Amino acid sequence: MYSKIIKDIKNKYGAKLAILGHHYQSDEIIQHTDLKGDSLELARQIGNLDAEYIVFCGVHFMAESAAILRKENQKIFIPDKSAGCVMANMAPADLVEKIIEKISRQTGKKVIPLAYVNTPAAVKAVCGKYDGSVCTSANAVTMMKWALEKGDSVLFLPDKNLAMNTADKLGLDETERYEMDIRNCGDKIDMNSASKARLIMWPGLCPIHQRFKIKDIDHFRTKFPEAKIAVHPECPPELVKKSDADGSTSFLIKYVEQAPDGATIVIGTETNLVDRLAAKYKNKTILPLGQSFCSNMAKITEKNLAELLQNIETFNEEDVDDNIRIPARKALERMLEACS
Ligand code: 13P
Ligand code: SF4
C-alpha cells in the first residue's frame, strides 16, 4: 500500500522530486531511490541535482549536509528527523570549540579540526571557523594529509577508529598520536601529549562497527581459509589490520562486484548492505562478519516516506541557520575542492 503511494507521488512530481538513499537503508526504501551512495557521493550530488524537492533517506547529519549544500530553490526533507547517528552526537559543538581553543592557547600550536561527516552542522561550522574541514570514510586519507599540511596538528573527530585507520594508511607513527580524555570540559587533556602529537583524536566511535571482534575474523579465517575479509574503516584498527581490505560503503560494494565468480567474501559493516550484496551476487558467497544493525537508519520506513511525500508541500523542511550554514558550508566546500 505505501509502496503504491510512493510510486504514484513520484510519477506525479517527476523530475521535481529526487529521493536519495544511503547504502544502509532497507530494501523497501532503496527500491524507491533515484540515487543511492555513500556519504561522499551523496554530498557531491546535491549541487548537481535539478530537483526542487530532495528527500534524504538516511540519518539526520546526511540530510543536514544536503541542507547546507543545497541551492536556493531546493527544499530538503528527511522522513524522520529523530534518525540521528549515535556517533555524530559524541562530539558536541560547544565542547569541540572549547577544546580547540584550549589546546591552541596552551600549546601555542595551530590545530586544524577535521570532522568526520558524521557530525552535526554546528560541528562542521566550528571546523569552517578554525580553517578546518570535513572528511568521509572515502576521502579520509586525502583530507588528513590536507589537514596535516595546513597546521601543526590535526584534531580529528569524533571517530577514533577512522582516525587511527587513516593514520595507519598515512604511516603516521603511534607516538605521533594522542587520544584525548574529554571529561571535565577538556580539563583532563594531557597538554604535554597534545603538544607532541600531530594527530589528536576525539574518543568517539560507532557502536555498530565496534561490535565486530577479532574472534569473528579468526572464525572465518579458520572456516573459510580462501575467503577475503573486507570491513568499513569505522571498525577498530586491530580488526582492520587483520582484514584484507577496508573502505567506505561504496568501496565495499565495488570490492564484491569486482571479485571473481565463486569468491567468498566476508563483509564487516551494517547488515542491510551485506544482505543486499548477498542477494545480488548469487554467483559469489557473501557473508556477514556479524549481525549489526543501525537502528537509526532503520527509522526510515516506507510508511514515514509515504507520509512525508503525501504532505511534502507543508512538511517541515530541513534547514540550517545562516550563522551555522555559512561556516559549515565553507568546511564542506574545502573537502569537495580538495577531493575534486
Ligand atoms: P559511508 O560514508 O562509508 O557510506 O559511511 C557512512 C556511515 O555512517 C558508516 O557507518
Ligand atoms: Fe552512525 Fe554508525 Fe549508524 Fe553509521 S552505522 S549512521 S556511524 S551509528
| pLDDT for residue 340 | 83
Binding pocket residue ranges, ligand 2, CB within 6 Å = 59, 85-87, 118, 206, 208, 234, 270, 294, 296-297
Predicted TM-score (pTM) of this structure: 0.96
pLDDT at 47: 84
Interacting residues of 20 by C-beta distance below 8 A, sequence separation 6+: 33, 34, 35, 36, 37, 42, 45, 54, 55, 56, 57, 58, 66
Ligand 2: which atom is nearest the Cα of residue 159? 7
Q: Which domains does the chain have, with CATH numbers?
A: 2-84+297-319 (3.40.50.10800), 88-206 (3.40.50.10800), 212-288 (3.40.50.10800)
What residues in the chain have per-residue pLDDT under 70? none
Tell me which residue has cell 520506513. Answer: 301
Q: How far apart are CA 231 and CA 61, in angstroms?
A: 22
Interior angle at CA 167, CA 150 and CA 257, nearest 5: 115
Q: CA 231 to CA 244: how far, in whole Å?
A: 8
Query: How confident is the model at residue 58, as a pLDDT?
Result: 97
Give the model confidence (pLDDT) of 210-234 as tens digits.
Answer: 999 999 999 999 999 999 999 999 9
Our answer on whether the CB atom of 41 is closer than 6 Å to any ligand 1 atom is no
Asked whether 136 lines ligand 1 (CB < 6 A), one says yes
Ligand 2 atom nearest to 294, measured from its CA: 3
- pLDDT recorded at residue 229: 98
